[in-house]
Amino acid sequence: MTTDERTEGTARVADLLSDAKLCMFTTHGTDGHLKARPMALQETEFDGDLWFFAANDSRKVADIRSDPSVNVSFQSGTSWVSLSGRASVVLDDAKKKDLWSQGVAAWFENGPESDEVVLIRVESEGAEFWSAPGSKVSTLIAYAKSRITGDKPDVGDNEKVDMS
C-alpha cells in the first residue's frame, strides 16, 4: 500500500468518525475473554490516534497493561467503523489538560492533574468501514427495491484500510 492510499484511507475514516461521540471499546481481559464497554471519544482531529480518559485503577487499564491489542467500533448515522490498534496508558498532565472537558469532569471530580485519571491512546493499525449512501430511508428503499427486482441492494461501501 502506498503512502497516498494510506493517507486517503485515514482521511476517509476520519470523515466517518467526525460525528461519532461514543464507541464500544474492546480489550482482551486478563482472564483471556474479550471485554467491551461504551466509551466517549475525546474531541481531537483524527490522525490515526484515538484518545480516551479512564480511571487508573479500572479493569480496562489493567487489560491494556496486560495486552495492548484493542478494537474500537463506532456507529454514526448510516456508517459503521471497526478500528483495530494498540493501546497505551498515558500519564501526561499537559495532554490531559488539553483534552479535558465538562463531560470528562462529570466522571472525574479530582481534575486532570489527579493520578487517578489517565489517558488511553489507541494507535490505529487498521480499520474496516461500512457506509450507506444517503439516509436510513434511502437504505430501506434500496432493500424494498431489491425485493421487487431480485437484485442485491446497493447499501453502500465496505472497505478495509491499512493504517500501520
Q: Domains for the chain: give ranges and CATH numbers.
A: 3-162 (2.30.110.10)
> What is the full per-residue pLDDT of the chain (164 aa) written as tens digits?
576 666 788 888 888 888 888 999 999 998 989 999 999 999 888 888 999 999 999 999 999 999 999 999 999 888 899 999 999 999 999 999 999 999 999 999 999 999 999 999 999 999 999 887 766 666 666 667 777 877 776 667 888 999 87
Task: Quote the pTM value.
Answer: 0.84
List, as one string, the DSSP characters of the chain: --HHHHHHHHHHHHHHHTT--EEEEEEE-TTSSEEEEEEEPP----SSEEEEEEETTSHHHHHHHH--EEEEEEEETTEEEEEEEEEEEE--HHHHHHH--HHHHHH-TT-TT-TTEEEEEEEEEEEEEEE-SS-HHHHHHHHHHHHHH-SPP---EEEEEE--
